[in-house]
Amino acid sequence: MSQKLKILQLCHKPPLPARDGGCIAMNNVTQGLLEAGHEVRVMTIYTPKHDLDIDQLPEDYIRKTQIKGIFIDTKVNLVDAFSSLITQDSYNVTRFFSADFDILLANLLKRKKFDIIHLESLFMTPYLGTCRRFSKAKIILRSHNLEHVIWERVAGGTRGFAKRAYLKYLSRKLKEYELSVIDQVDGIASISEEDRTKYLSLGCSKPIVNIPFGIDVSTYDIPSDPEGISNVFHLGSMDWTPNLEGVMWFVEDVWPMVHKAAPGLRLYLAGRQMPSDLLYLQADQVEVTGEVDSARQFMARMGIMIVPLHSASGVRVKIIEGMAMGKAIVSTKVGAEGIDYTDGENILIASNPKEFREKLSYLAQHPEEVQRLGNNARKLARECFDNRTITQNLLNFYNSLIQS
């Protein structure tokens, strides 16, 4: 093994409990680095959406990471949002800044030296100045997605003039901010090859490497007898705008066509912060369950995953997990970004209601295809998203920056 590294991981929400894809992605980085024999200290923000109860975390995790957290109320404040129009700040990012977190970080960096400071997402970059002031560590931005790309896509699909104008402004400020951040970090670890290419197109001259989301496929069991191959499902946090917009589009514009063509299919919707419009939805063959106790147990009894995203960026963790569990997946191209898939081999791509209808009804009529797609998807997950391989690639990147 190469020299043991001291790594400080700064997180915009607690990696544990792993409530959503972002948490899972961050925790898998932590676990991969620890298993490789390196020291990882975790500092995290926690929010109304993502609470932190350290006493409920595994003792071994607490001992190894010495995790510390500071609460920030990141809920959107209309006064601050309006003020950002005047001050030209990127409100989406600045609401993650806390003087208390900044002080805690500065005190840690004054008394302990690190080789690497690993920033999880753009939302931790307001602390770049403090990192530079009190540490000589190499600073890596772990880019979960390009935020301005998400909001450009959201704005493009928004009908209201005032809302569309504000979202365009927001995406423009985010783009300006992301461009400024590029010059302040030592390297970028993008979560997909598409995002790496986008950074290069923005003029990024800093070292950048594609480090996708990693998993241990062996821990994802394939159910031997799922309740029904005809169960279609979506699982995702509904307080994330792209998820909410994609599901509403699917329910309103796609599902009626699918139900007419394949009445035997049943749609299940699950996820945190399910809006009342969906919780009390009255629609044929649709069941809305809201938040589930165990995502894996929920997925285990389902047959076909849908990912109807139109405005995301990066990699959808739930797709990778679905592949690891041998699920047949029907997704938009945007939803499947970051995955080296083959349409018709390990996933089905649908871009509009007609294509979703055709592909879902085809799977309903050919259950053997559901199994074939799922088996191929699991093989792809094993080949491309093995956490040990991905962790070693990340360590190689760390070391190349330290030695430069």
Rama region for 271: left / alpha / beta (φ>0; ψ in -120 to 50; rest): left
Contacts of 99 (CB under 8 A, 6+ apart): none
Confidence (pLDDT) at 225: 56
Confidence of residue 122 (pLDDT cuts 50, 70, 90): confident
Contacts of 129 (CB under 8 A, 6+ apart): none
User: Which of 6-10, 66-70, 217-221, 328-332 is predicted least confidently?
Assistant: 217-221
Residue 365 tokens read as 């009529």
CATH, domain range 218-384:
3.40.50.2000
Mean pLDDT score, 232-260:
93
Break the chain into its structural domains and give their ranges: 6-214+386-403, 218-384
CA dist 32 and 135 (Å) reads: 24
Backbone angles phi, psi at 176, to 5 degrees: -60, -40
6-214+386-403 against 218-384: fold identical: yes
Mean pLDDT score, 364-383:
94
Helix, strand and coil in the chain, % to nearest 5: 50, 15, 35
CA dist 155 and 301 (Å) reads: 36
Task: Please report, rounded to a whole number, the percentage of residues in the chain having pLDDT higher than 70.
Answer: 88
Confidence (pLDDT) at 317: 85
Q: DSSP label at 218?
A: G
Mean pLDDT score, 211-239:
83
Whether 20 contacts 237, CB under 8 Å: yes
Whether 392 contacts 2, CB under 8 Å: no
Confidence (pLDDT) at 1: 47
Task: Please report, rounded to a whole number, the percentage of residues in the chain having pLDDT higher than 90.
Answer: 60
Confidence (pLDDT) at 88: 41
Residue 165 tokens read as 């104008």
Residue 243 CA, chain-centre distance (Å), reads 11
Name 231's bridge partners. Answer: 266
Positive or negative: CA dihedral 321, 326, 329, 334: positive
CATH, domain range 6-214+386-403:
3.40.50.2000
Residue 66 tokens read as 């010495």
Confidence of residue 20 (pLDDT cuts 50, 70, 90): confident
Reported in sequence order, the residue ranges of 101-143 that DSSP labels E, i.e. its strands, are: 116-120, 138-143
Check residues 91 and 289 and name the one with the higher pLDDT.
Answer: 289
Residue 92 tokens read as 């989406």
Angle in degrees, 0-180, between the axes of helices 161-182 and 147-156, rounded to the nearest 10: 160
Residue 201: what residue type? S
Confidence (pLDDT) at 92: 60
User: Which of 19-28, 65-74, 218-227, 282-291 is predicted least confidently?
Assistant: 218-227
Residue 115, burial from CB neighbour count under 10 angstroms (0-12, 13-18, 19+): buried
